[in-house]
């Protein structure tokens, strides 16, 4: 019994140490944001805040109009995430369980879309969006990201891991594909789908290049990361942009805390039994 | 039976069509444009396009710039992928236990996911910096020999949360009975990890590997954000995507297009090889 306790204390010590390593850099960033940049660079360190400027967050909020930008980011991000989850689940089910000709080739063509980043395809895509008159619009910000092979791949793998006895049993019950997908494959893959939702959401929220390139009026159409970059970076104000970046990251942290439990087992066990 | 099968194919077409439509417009078509643009050379001003067949391809792909970019990308990959994979597994295994308050730790470990490239850049500059850094190291980013290490460190920190979330999700998807059964067999923790847990999470590990490799090959934003001048001293952090992005002006677009196609073909071959080897070994339930 005593050794159990010692073991437990050991785990907590280790977990706390690692948590500190992960959190300390965030603390330093916070210190940098609230400290007067001239005193920090005049030979200070980031361990202790110096000449604290408490109004830096509100100044960043006002100067970059972060409220509007974060609202737009939210619309774009939710739309992209919902679309990516739906298109990925459908494609994943198809590649995991359905028969169709040229399956391997088509799967390879899907995966091929992951090989070149946006930086490479950005010019032709910009031309397409301009031709459609979608610059400075929600459609333009959202359309290229409605599907992703990354989600297809991840969720397909999870679907392939569904025990075949369960699928056979469901078929004997006369379940069609739609029921198999919604009642068996998706509930059993819940932690993986939750992880994908998180990746997709964060990826969309933090996008920089595409929103910058297709918005000609950033004050009207810029997303949150664009707004942060617009904060001046002259030496006396160098902490404004850091504060802005923290403000923009805050909702993501909240979301993360709310979402973490979906990745963790508890709920899934219930879904399987129910 | 035959009709059943084709009905299934019809459903497959229906399910795949939304993804295919998006890829057709925003990937396959731009890719075709890049291939075609590579067949034309331009003058110094960037106009007067003339058709030159594949000669620009042989010139550019055999050239110094392409080789340098690929080498830098490869170096970045070597610095980031194995470390990222290992740290992700370690963190997830550490946090995947039944302890009171474990969710707090899980949330903290995931939190690096929330950081955009810009924040990761600030954080990196705050920690390792000759003037204000907590670790007053020599400026890694200023020396051509170490600049890539510096960029790779920042990138690893940034992808740590993703790696953690993915591996944790994989661990959480293992039914508790499986581990309990193995525990009853009296296997030690380490043996249980290698013979039971690792094979069961191999699909998510393959995914994570592919994610990290893609992330490495495509590395751009973190390099652009951290290096001053962008691309690092002596161009030491100019990955191939960085070079392609720099080549987007009309006068360099021909070369940039050829480099894009070259990068694609090279990544495709690597991915094909990777997939052929790994997908067979991955354990997908029954």
Minimal C-alpha gap between A117 and chain B (Å) = 6
Per residue in A77-88, pLDDT (tens digit) is 999 999 999 999
Residue A78 C-alpha from the chain's centroid? 10
pLDDT at B231 over 90: no
Residues on chain A touching B276 (C-beta within 8 angstroms): none
Under the banding of pLDDT at 50, 70 and 90, the label for residue A219 is: confident
Region A105-116 average pLDDT: 93
Per-residue pLDDT at A263: 77
Closest by CA position to A170, among listed A160, A178, A161, A180:
A180
C-alpha angle A20-A262-A86 in degrees, rounded to nearest 5: 125
**Residue contact A158–B272, C-beta within 8 A:** no
Residues on chain A touching B203 (C-beta within 8 angstroms): 157-158, 160-161
Minimal C-alpha gap between A231 and chain B (Å) = 13
pLDDT at B235 over 70: yes
| Token digits of residue A111 | 């995966």
Residues on chain B touching A191 (C-beta within 8 angstroms): 169-170, 172-173
Under the banding of pLDDT at 50, 70 and 90, the label for residue B44 is: confident
pLDDT at A265 over 90: no
Residues on chain A touching B221 (C-beta within 8 angstroms): 208-209
Q: Choose the closest CB to B271 out of A106, A115, A150.
A: A115
Segment 23-82 of chain A within 8 Å of chain B by CB: 23-26, 28-29, 31-32, 40-41, 43-47
Burial B183-217 (b: 16+ CB within 10 A, else e): eeeeeeeeebeeebbeebbbbbbbbbbbbbbbbbb
**B275-282 contacts at long range (C-beta below 8 A, 24 or more positions apart):** B275/A111, B278/B206, B278/B209, B279/B206, B281/B202, B282/A157, B282/B202, B282/B203, B282/B206
Contact status, residue A136 vs residue A221, Cβ threshold 8 Å = yes
Closest by CA position to B198, among listed B92, B55, B83:
B92
Q: Which range among A135-144, A213-222, A254-263 shows the weakest confidence by mean pLDDT? A: A254-263
Cα separation, A211 vs A143, whole angstroms: 12
Per residue in A249-260, pLDDT (tens digit) is 888 888 888 887
Given CB atoms, is A155 within the 8 Å cutoff of chain B? no
Report the SS3 class of residue B128.
Answer: strand
Alpha helix ranges (H) inside chain B: 2-23, 29-37, 55-61, 64-95, 102-110, 117-127, 147-172, 176-184, 189-192, 198-200, 202-217, 221-226, 240-246, 253-281
Q: Which residue of B has its CA nearest to A27?
A: B123
Region B182-193 average pLDDT: 78
Cα separation, A86 vs B134, whole angstroms: 45
Region B52-60 average pLDDT: 94
Region A88-95 average pLDDT: 98
Per-residue pLDDT at A267: 38
State chain B's mean pLDDT as an integer.
87
Given CB atoms, is A20 within the 8 Å cutoff of chain B? no
**Residue contact A161–B173, C-beta within 8 A:** yes
Contact status, residue A160 vs residue A188, Cβ threshold 8 Å = no
Query: For residue B23, what are the CA distances in angstroms to A142, A163, B27, B114?
Result: 14, 31, 5, 27
pTM attached to this predicted model: 0.89
Report the SS3 class of residue B63.
Answer: coil
Minimal C-alpha gap between A119 and chain B (Å) = 6
Segment 97-126 of chain A within 8 Å of chain B by CB: 98-101, 106, 108-117, 119-125
Report the SS3 class of residue B263.
Answer: helix
Minimal C-alpha gap between B212 and chain A (Å) = 12
Residues on chain A touching B117 (C-beta within 8 angstroms): 206, 208
Chains A, B: CB pairs < 8 Å: 272
- To the nearest 10 degrees (0 to 180), the angle between helices A190-205 and A149-160 is 170
Residues on chain A touching B21 (C-beta within 8 angstroms): 147
**Residue contact B22–A147, C-beta within 8 A:** yes
| Token digits of residue A52 | 């604290």
pLDDT at A1 over 60: no
Region B101-109 average pLDDT: 87
Per residue in B59-95, pLDDT (tens digit) is 999 999 999 999 999 999 999 999 999 999 999 999 9
Distance between first and last Cα of chain B: 25
**Residue contact A41–B132, C-beta within 8 A:** yes
Report the SS3 class of residue B49.
Answer: coil
Under the banding of pLDDT at 50, 70 and 90, the label for residue B134 is: low
**Residue contact A269–B176, C-beta within 8 A:** yes
Given CB atoms, is A15 within the 8 Å cutoff of chain B? yes
Region B16-31 average pLDDT: 98
Q: Which residue of B has its CA nearest to A148?
A: B19
Q: Choose the closest CB to A264 out of B106, B157, B211.
A: B106
pLDDT at A197 over 50: yes
**Residue contact B111–A152, C-beta within 8 A:** no
Q: Which residue of A has its CA nearest to B162?
A: A199
Which one is predicted more confidently, A228 or B182?
A228
Residues on chain A touching B112 (C-beta within 8 angstroms): 22
Q: Which range among A21-35, A88-102, B116-130, B141-155 shows the weakest confidence by mean pLDDT? A: B116-130
Distance between first and last Cα of chain A: 37
DSSP string of chain A, one letter each residue: -HHHHHHHHHHHHHHHHHHHHHHHHHHHHHHHHHB-HHHHHTT--SSS--SB-TTHHHHHHHHTTHHHHHHHHHHHHHHHHHHHHHHHHHHHHHHHH---TTHHHHHHHHHHTTSS-HHHHHHHHHHHHHHTT-TTSHHHHHGGGS--HHHHHHHHHHHHTS-HHHHHHHHHTT--HHHIIIIIIHHHTHHHHHHHHHHHHHHHHT--HHHHHH-S-HHHH--HHHHHHTS---GGGHHHHHHHHHHHHHHHHHHHHHHHHHHSTHHHHHHHH-
Residues on chain A touching B172 (C-beta within 8 angstroms): 191, 263-265, 268
User: Which candidate in B119, B160, B220 is best for mutational testing of the A interface (most A CBs within 10 A)?
Assistant: B119
Per-residue pLDDT at A163: 86
Per-residue pLDDT at A170: 92
Under the banding of pLDDT at 50, 70 and 90, the label for residue A42 is: low
Residues on chain A touching B253 (C-beta within 8 angstroms): 123
Query: For residue A264, what are the CA distances in angstroms to A157, B117, B171, B197?
Result: 18, 27, 9, 16
Contact status, residue A252 vs residue A264, Cβ threshold 8 Å = no
pLDDT at B246 over 80: yes
Region A117-141 average pLDDT: 94
Under the banding of pLDDT at 50, 70 and 90, the label for residue A268 is: very low
- Name the range with the highest mean pLDDT among B8-17, B95-104, B141-150, B169-178: B8-17
Q: How many CB atoms lie within 10 A of CB A269?
A: 13
pLDDT at A115 over 50: yes
Per residue in A180-196, pLDDT (tens digit) is 999 999 998 988 899 89
**Residue contact B34–A121, C-beta within 8 A:** yes
Contact status, residue B199 vs residue A138, Cβ threshold 8 Å = no
Q: Which range among A49-53, B253-257, B263-267 shows the weakest confidence by mean pLDDT? A: A49-53
Residues on chain B touching A29 (C-beta within 8 angstroms): 119, 122-123, 126
Which one is predicted more confidently, A139 or B144?
A139
Given CB atoms, is A160 within the 8 Å cutoff of chain B? yes
């Amino acid at each position: 019994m005593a050794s159990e306790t010692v073991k437990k204390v050991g785990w907590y010590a280790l977990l706390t140490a690692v948590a500190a390593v992960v959190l300390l850099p965030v603390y330093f960033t916070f210190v940098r944001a609230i400290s007067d940049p001239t005193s920090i660079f005049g030979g200070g360190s980031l361990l202790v805040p110096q000449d604290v400027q408490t109004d830096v967050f509100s100044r960043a909020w006002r100067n970059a109009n972060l409220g509007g930008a974060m609202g737009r980011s939210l619309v774009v991000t939710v739309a992209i995430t919902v679309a990516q989850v739906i298109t990925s689940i459908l494609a994943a089910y198809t590649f995991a369980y359905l028969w169709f000709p040229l399956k391997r080739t088509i799967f390879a063509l899907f995966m091929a879309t992951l090989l070149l980043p946006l930086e490479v395809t950005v010019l032709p895509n910009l031309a397409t969006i301009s031709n459609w008159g979608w610059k400075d619009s929600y459609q333009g910000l959202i359309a290229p990201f409605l599907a992703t092979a990354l989600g297809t791949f991840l969720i397909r793998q999870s679907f392939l891991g569904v025990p075949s006895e369960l699928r056979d049993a469901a078929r004997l019950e006369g379940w069609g594909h739609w029921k198999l997908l919604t009642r068996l494959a998706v509930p059993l893959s819940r932690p993986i789908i939750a992880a994908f939702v998180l990746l997709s959401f964060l990826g969309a929220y933090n996008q920089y290049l595409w929103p910058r390139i297709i918005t000609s009026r950033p004050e009207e159409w810029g997303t949150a990361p664009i707004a942060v970059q617009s904060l001046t970076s002259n030496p006396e104000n160098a902490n404004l942009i850091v504060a802005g970046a923290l403000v923009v990251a805050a909702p993501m942290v909240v979301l993360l805390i709310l979402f973490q439990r979906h990745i963790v087992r508890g709920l899934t066990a219930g879904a399987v039994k129910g | 039976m035959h009709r059943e099968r084709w009905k299934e194919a019809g459903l497959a077409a229906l399910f795949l069509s939304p993804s295919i439509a998006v890829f057709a417009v925003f990937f396959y078509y731009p890719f075709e444009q890049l291939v075609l643009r590579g067949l034309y050379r331009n003058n110094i001003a960037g106009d007067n396009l003339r058709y030159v067949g594949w000669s620009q391809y042989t010139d550019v792909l055999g050239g110094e710039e392409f080789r340098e970019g690929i080498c830098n990308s490869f170096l970045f990959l070597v610095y980031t992928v194995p470390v990222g994979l290992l740290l992700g597994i370690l963190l997830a295994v550490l946090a995947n236990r039944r302890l009171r308050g474990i969710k707090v730790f899980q949330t903290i470990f995931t939190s690096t996911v929330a950081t955009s490239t810009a924040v990761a850049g600030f954080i990196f500059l705050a920690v390792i910096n000759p003037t204000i850094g907590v670790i007053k190291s020599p400026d890694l980013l200023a020396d051509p020999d170490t600049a890539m290490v510096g960029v790779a460190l920042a990138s690893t920190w940034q992808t740590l949360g993703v790696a953690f979330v993915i591996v944790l999700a994989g661990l959480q998807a293992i039914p508790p009975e499986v581990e309990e059964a193995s525990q009853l067999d009296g296997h030690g923790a380490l043996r249980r990890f290698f013979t039971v847990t690792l094979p069961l999470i191999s699909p998510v590990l393959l995914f994570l590997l592919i994610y990290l490799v893609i992330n490495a090959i495509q590395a751009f934003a973190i390099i652009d954000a951290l290096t001053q001048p962008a691309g690092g001293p002596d161009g030491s952090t100019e990955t191939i995507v960085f070079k392609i992005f720099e080549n987007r002006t009309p006068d360099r677009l021909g070369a940039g297009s050829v480099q894009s196609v070259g990068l694609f073909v090279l990544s495709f071959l690597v991915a094909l090889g990777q997939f052929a080897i790994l997908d067979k070994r991955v354990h997908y339930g029954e």
